[in-house]
Structure 1
Amino acid sequence: MSGLKQVLRAPWVWRARARDRIVAQRDVPTLAVVAIFREEAPFLDEWLRFHEAVGVGHFYLYNNFSTDHFRDVLAPWIARGLVTLTDWPVEVGQLPAYRHCIKHHMLDAKWMAFIDIDEFLFSPVADKVTDVLGRFDGAPAVGVFSPYFGSAGHEQRPPVPISRAFTKRSPLSKISAKTIANPRWIRAIRNVHLYKYWQGETIDTMGRPFQGDRPVLDLLRLNHYWSRSLSDLQTKIQRGDASTPVPRDSDWHFAAEKDMNAEDDASILPVLDRVFGKAEDAAKAG
């Protein structure tokens, strides 16, 4: 950063540090999740249960034009005080929702993970994501690599948890990433993946400046169940995208999905066994 930029940003850096001191004195969750959703009622409870089990202390959920039974699914979570639900009838509403959450809730969690309902965040080496976040306290954000998982050939969704049903993914040469950030340091959000900060930059789990061409899946992972089943993929195409006004192209999506079944990846299953248990999976399947 140039000397002039340092001078201009200094007041914002001081403000971020002051806000960090306020948060350090408050009883707030170590990790909150921020997500926008549309027509995701069949998936919400599983996704919430999984992430609560891996250390997420609160969920800021933005309803973007849903017409399904999501309120019934979320009602017990809201009653427990774990979900803050905001109706968000905003076209292309994902980034505005993120900005709204940062503005209104930056003091309500130490870290915020900005992910989607089809993404499952976990640590391959620890019971909880929060067990490893302390390693990154000096950084404004840690980037988490996100492999793409396909349908594994399922036309219809099997009656087991999503992460047990779909265990085939793209090669790691085709990978995305999302951010777990200290919201008090976020300066700008220009896309859904990586942000800009008043000071510092996103790092990977090895403490290096984050680069998307060298995936590291050691301490944190974000499995992206991009298609779920083939019928779910068709629903996704019809639903549209909260991050862009461009309609989804059916031919492109089904062609892309074929490349997302190249390699077996069962790394999440030990975590899933702790969260749901094999017995519950069997009962659900029956």
Structure 2
Amino acid sequence: MPLTMRASWRERAVSKAPRFNLTACAIFREEAPFLAEWIRFHQSVGFEHFYLYNNFSTDDFKTVLEPFIQQGLVTLVDWPRPVGQLSAYKDCIRRHWREALWIGLFDIDEFLFAPDGRDVRSVLDAYRDLPGVCVWQAFYGSSGHVERPDGPLVEAYTMRAGPDITTAKTIVNPRMVYKPGVHLSKFLSGEAMDTHRRIIVPGMPPKLDILRINHYWSRSLADLDQKIRRGDASTSAPRDRDWHFDFESKLNVERDEAILKAMRRAG
């Protein structure tokens, strides 16, 4: 059977009674202090399940995740593969295409939400004809924190870069994707678009009004130093410390508390 026909058959079969409408897949390393907030936040905006791939973590992530695993919220996969991000996405799609209408491919330092406080699932209802929905990011810096502050991450970091520093991540239809990407993916039929139904091209101005991702790129400066040392799951190239700290200095240009306003509206 041609791949597009098979994908369409799978789509019809799954869309009648999916186990989950919206899930997320993420690979992580040494993220134990941040996992619980990330899961609870995304559960509050409509995500129903999380496929989490552990990539060489040595911290107490299992202790943090165990309650969520017991609740049926998290599927934990040990993934000891160098540069394992794309292979983790492929594995997740291969294993779970039957379960979910949508799988969001993004990271533990990225928080996806609707600025008007709507449930993300209800927003995605308008895009069921697309194989993927691209969500633009706002990049957040340290907000002047040298060490990690107490309290919720989303309350601590409120300073972000201007719209010239951005990228997008994709919520994919797992029956239609054949080549998942860190940012953009390739599909058997059609192309992913952003929430204004634009195909992503270089230099395009972001749209953050319908869905958006807050990318807490550095967190505190101490966290940024740890991020540099642990390396990247998408490339084997070592991280350049000078470049990272120079880039972070550009991420504290304007205050943006849209995520807090959305949480108040939703609450």
TM-score under structure 2 length normalisation:
0.96
Structure 2: which amino acid aligns with 1:252?
W
- State the partner residue of 1:119: 110
- TM-fit CA distance, 1:201: 0.3
Say which structure is richer in helix. Answer: 1
- TM-fit CA distance, 1:187: 1.8
Distance of 1:160 and 1:265 partners within structure 2: 18
- TM-fit CA distance, 1:273: 4.1
The number of equivalent residue pairs is: 266
- Among 177, 199, 222, which residue is 1:231 paired with? 222
- State the partner residue of 1:282: none
Contact 1:163 1:272 in 2 (8 A): no
The 5 Å alignment of 1:245-284 reads 245-273=236-264
**Offset from partner CA, 1:12-64 (integer Å, 9 cap, x none):** 11111111112123241111000000000000000000000000010000000
- TM-fit CA distance, 1:127: 2.7
Structure 1: which amino acid aligns with 2:96?
H
Stretches of structure 1 lacking an aligned partner (at least 5 in a row): 1-9, 278-286
- TM-fit CA distance, 1:126: 3.5
- State the partner residue of 1:206: 196
Distance of 1:18 and 1:12 partners within structure 2: 10
Structure 2: which amino acid aligns with 1:154?
H
Distance of 1:53 and 1:115 partners within structure 2: 17
Q: Bigger shift: 156-165 or 142-151?
A: 156-165
Percent identity over the alignment is 52
- State the partner residue of 1:40: 31
Contact 2:142 2:220 in 1 (8 A): yes
- State the partner residue of 1:145: 136
1:259 counterpart SS class: coil
**Offset from partner CA, 1:79-130 (integer Å, 9 cap, x none):** 0111000000000000000000011111110001000000000001233111
Structure 2: which amino acid aligns with 1:117?
I
Stretches of structure 2 lacking an aligned partner (at least 5 in a row): none
Distance of 2:18 and 2:249 partners within structure 1: 46
- TM-fit CA distance, 1:70: 0.3
Structure 2: which amino acid aligns with 1:207?
R
Which structure has the larger Rg? 1
